């Protein structure tokens, strides 16, 4: 069976880790309404099996990245926050996973560009007011 006759989601090139999750998150963040797994599947750039998409959505929900609402026998999905909120959530998770928060934060700040360090100072100053 050649590649053009394979069912969606079988064979072909493998996506990089997180690429499918990232594409799904982008679809959901740009959608004005919650989407079902079938609607997500229809909008993906690469055809995939419905079960692959449904499993990915369930994993994102279990990680707290998506919220879901019952609809009939299934669910619709929406992101819990926008892209910057998801990045901040990820940064918090990484920080919590370290053994020495002080050291992790010190290294993080040391690696900031001068512009980012100044932005961080302004943000911290504005929250203290």
pLDDT tens track of the chain, all 129 residues?
A: 444 444 444 455 566 658 899 999 999 999 999 999 999 999 999 889 999 999 999 999 998 899 999 999 999 999 998 888 888 888 888 888 888 888 888 888 899 999 999 999 999 988 776
Return the percent helix, strand and coil in the chain, to nearest 5.
60, 10, 30
Query: Which uninterrupted H or E stretch holds 79?
Result: strand 74-79
pLDDT score at 1: 45
CB crowding 70-109: b at 16 or more within 10 Å, else e: eeeeebbbebeeeeeebeeeeeeeeeeeeeeeeeeeeeee
pLDDT score at 2: 46
pLDDT score at 15: 64
- CB-based contact 61:68 (threshold 8 Å): yes
**The two structure tokens encoding residue 63:** 């990680």
pLDDT score at 10: 47
- With a CB cutoff of 8 Å and minimum separation 6, the contacts of 44 are 23, 24, 27, 53
């Amino acid at each position: 069976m050649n590649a053009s006759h394979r069912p969606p989601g079988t064979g072909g090139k493998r996506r990089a880790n997180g690429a499918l999750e990232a594409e799904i998150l982008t679809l959901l963040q740009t959608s004005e309404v919650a989407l079902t797994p079938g609607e997500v599947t229809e909008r993906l750039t690469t055809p995939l099996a419905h079960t692959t998409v449904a499993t990915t959505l369930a994993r994102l929900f279990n990680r707290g990245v998506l919220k879901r609402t019952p609809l009939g026998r299934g669910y619709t999905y929406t992101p819990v926050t926008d892209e910057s909120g998801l990045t901040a959530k990820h940064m918090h998770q990484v920080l919590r996973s370290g053994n020495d928060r002080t050291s992790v934060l010190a290294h993080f700040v040391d690696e900031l560009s001068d512009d980012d360090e100044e932005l961080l100072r302004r943000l911290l100053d504005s929250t203290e007011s």
